[in-house]
Structure 1
Amino acid sequence: MQEPCFDVAHLGHVELLTNKFEESLDFFVNVYGLTESGRDETSAYLRAFDDYEFHTLKLTRSDTTGVGHIAYRTSSEAALQRRVKAIEEMGCGIGWVEGDLGHGRAYRFTDPDGHVFELYYDTKKYVAPEGEKPALKNIAQRYHGRGACVRRIDHLNLLASDVSKIKEWMPKALGSRVTEMIQLDNGRLGGCWFTVNNKTYDIAYTEDHTDAKGRFHHVTYAVDQREDLLRAADIFLENGVFIETGPHKHAVQGTFFLYVYEPAGNRVEVANAGARLILQPDWEPVVWTETDRKKGQAWGLQTIKSFHTHGTPPVGE
């Protein structure tokens, strides 16, 4: 059993690249329901109403799509230094960067597939302007009810050419625990789910069924209940947003899901994912077989082919 390590506190933010900046920004603010908390020359900084940090999504102008970087906040400055030491010993470090509008200096590194990560501790907490101040002191922002009005960032999914390499790398780099995984008949891992805290997962990797590396699958924000997700489906429908699959319930992790594409083609999920927690310190990973997965999702919906092939940037870019 892997000894739990809590040097890393939680998923901090995801930088998403878009070649349709204005259209993507309009989607995330007015349809998805995030709040813009700041902007610089190339990026808009966005957050959900119950995220405590300045931003959880950094939307960046680009000539392509996909993920720029994935950021995690550590539990302390000392924990940050411990993780940096471990990462440098692994030989996958890039180095320190100065940070951005939402946080201080951060240490960057790469996973085996080439995705860029960063770790930071010094952060900027969101302070709501007068029109967004909540009635209660224990949330960061009022419930504004705009669009799907997602509550908080929950997790993301990355595509990998070899998930087994990620399974070995993630616990060493972030101290993550494996909670569930898919074991294929050919000996390869079809997917692996990881957590750094007591959530069931904050990041997942699934096998890319193309020859590409370093691609993005989706980012997910959570809502309070299933009814919020059904309402989001109607909001997407009314706004001409392409619904890829759902609403339905995953077998793996039990997440109630709805997947759409934002205007630039990046996949985005709305999920009701907060009911399950891993409080068991000696948790053993749940292993799903290929036969298990051929049964489809929890209630029998078959996984659509694009779920294994659509990623950003598109293959060939």
Structure 2
Amino acid sequence: MTIDYREPVYDVAQLGHTELLTPDLEASARFFTEVYGLYRVEETADSVYLRAWGDEVLTSLKLTAAPQAGLGHVAWRAMSPQALDRRVAAIEAMGIEGRWTDGDIGHGKSFQFTAPGGHTMEVYFETEKYRAPDGEEPYLPNQPQKYRPHGVAVERIDHINLLVPDVHASRTFQQEALGFKPREILTPTPDTEVGAWLSLQTKAHDLALTREPAPTDGRLHHLAYEVTSREDVLKAADIFMENNVFVEFGPAKHSRTQGFFLYVYEPGGNRIEVFAGGIHIFSPDFETVYWNTEKGGRSTAWGVACPESFYNYATPSQT
């Protein structure tokens, strides 16, 4: 493989927040707060804004009422106002038309556009940090709030997986427009990419792109929040069991990223992951790892087989 030594771009810092659509806003909000362990921040007539206890920002998840489940938008936070302007210029130079918005609860103006693959994305910089109210101040000042775990008690937003018709084209756009670094790529044949795991800084991935199995675009595979340890993922399995939440896959260990995982469906229909661990990249000349198949015939690191639904189900559903 030819190593790509192009000058890295660090204008985009992190996955800032995500909007999920749900046909049952009340049930979805109840799942995310009472079972998944998020906190309500704000509410409007059609949306509920949530955060995890370790999120530094005011909100990392917006739930919006809609006829079907799926992704409303995914938002990437820039490093600075100047970095935001550079990324907008790069996006427009690639022939992508977008529009500026006045922002939303928790963040300022954003540039919103449709990425190759059909997903609505936005980039922004100005954000409102979370300030703990009286009585909720943390004992340790390097935490955003007092640790009062409930439900799964996920700590912070981690990554998102999107289905795209053309993985290579979508990956190339994310690299050139937003500065994503390709960490691992699944290529069954030299000319075919079916999966790509991309990160902005040192994480295993902030964004995964998986080939869309249906004749459509713009679909969500899953959204993931992080917990501290594998034991937390195992506890999450028990919590989901006790709350009659359908567990689709896991707990087990991914081959790519090496993260420990568990997948469930929230009441609106979106697939949600609990994620722990994963590799971290510290070398500035990290070489992209190419996979041409599942190692040794294993679909996961320890040989746990993926259910068919993991390959075929996404939101909005095509069935």
Smaller-chain TM-score range?
A: over 0.9
TM-superposed CA distance for 1:246, in Å, is 0.2
**In the alignment, which residue of structure 1 is the partner of 2:298?**
295
TM-superposed CA distance for 1:219, in Å, is 0.5
Q: Where do residues 116-195 of structure 1 align in structure 2 (5 Å cutoff)?
A: 116-185=120-189, 187-195=191-199
Structure 1 counterpart SS, 2:26: helix
Cα deviations across residues 53-88 of structure 1 (Å, max 9, x unaligned)?
111111111111100000011000000000000001
Contact map agreement 1:152 1:223 (CA 8 A) in 2: yes
**In the alignment, which residue of structure 2 is the partner of 1:251?**
255
**In the alignment, which residue of structure 1 is the partner of 2:208?**
204
Amino acid corresponding to residue 192 of structure 1 in structure 2: A
Q: Which residues of structure 1 form unaligned runs of 5+?
A: none
TM-superposed CA distance for 1:93, in Å, is 2.7
Contact map agreement 1:9 1:72 (CA 8 A) in 2: yes
Contact map agreement 1:219 1:269 (CA 8 A) in 2: yes
Amino acid corresponding to residue 185 of structure 1 in structure 2: T
TM-score, normalising length: structure 1: 0.97
The farther-off stretch of 289-298 and 259-268 is 289-298
TM-score, normalising length: structure 2: 0.96
TM-superposed CA distance for 1:206, in Å, is 0.5
**In the alignment, which residue of structure 2 is the partner of 1:94?**
98
Cα deviations across residues 166-187 of structure 1 (Å, max 9, x unaligned)?
1211111111110001002383
Q: Where do residues 233-312 of structure 1 align in structure 2 (5 Å cutoff)?
A: 233-273=237-277, 276-292=279-295, 294-312=297-315
Contact map agreement 1:207 1:308 (CA 8 A) in 2: no
Structure 2 counterpart SS, 1:23: helix
| CA distance in 2 between partners of 1:231 and 1:303 (Å) | 21
**In the alignment, which residue of structure 1 is the partner of 2:29?**
25
| CA distance in 2 between partners of 1:48 and 1:95 (Å) | 29
Amino acid corresponding to residue 135 of structure 1 in structure 2: Y
Contact map agreement 1:4 1:281 (CA 8 A) in 2: no
- Give the root-mean-square deviation of aligned CA atoms: 1.3
TM-superposed CA distance for 1:132, in Å, is 2.7
| CA distance in 1 between partners of 2:98 and 2:146 (Å) | 38
* Number of equivalent positions: 315
Contact map agreement 1:157 1:203 (CA 8 A) in 2: yes
Contact map agreement 1:2 1:177 (CA 8 A) in 2: no
The farther-off stretch of 13-22 and 159-168 is 159-168
Cα deviations across residues 235-287 of structure 1 (Å, max 9, x unaligned)?
000000000000000001101000000001100000103x5211111111101
Contact map agreement 1:42 1:60 (CA 8 A) in 2: yes
Amino acid corresponding to residue 281 of structure 1 in structure 2: P
| CA distance in 1 between partners of 2:31 and 2:177 (Å) | 34
The farther-off stretch of 105-114 and 275-284 is 275-284
Structure 2 counterpart SS, 1:170: helix
Per the alignment, do residues 239 and 77 of structure 1 end up closer, same or farther by CA in structure 2, a change over 3 Å counting? same
TM-superposed CA distance for 1:131, in Å, is 4.0
Structure 1 counterpart SS, 2:225: strand
Structure 2 counterpart SS, 1:290: coil
| CA distance in 1 between partners of 2:296 and 2:20 (Å) | 29
Q: Which residues of structure 2 form unaligned runs of 5+?
A: none
| CA distance in 2 between partners of 1:141 and 1:52 (Å) | 9
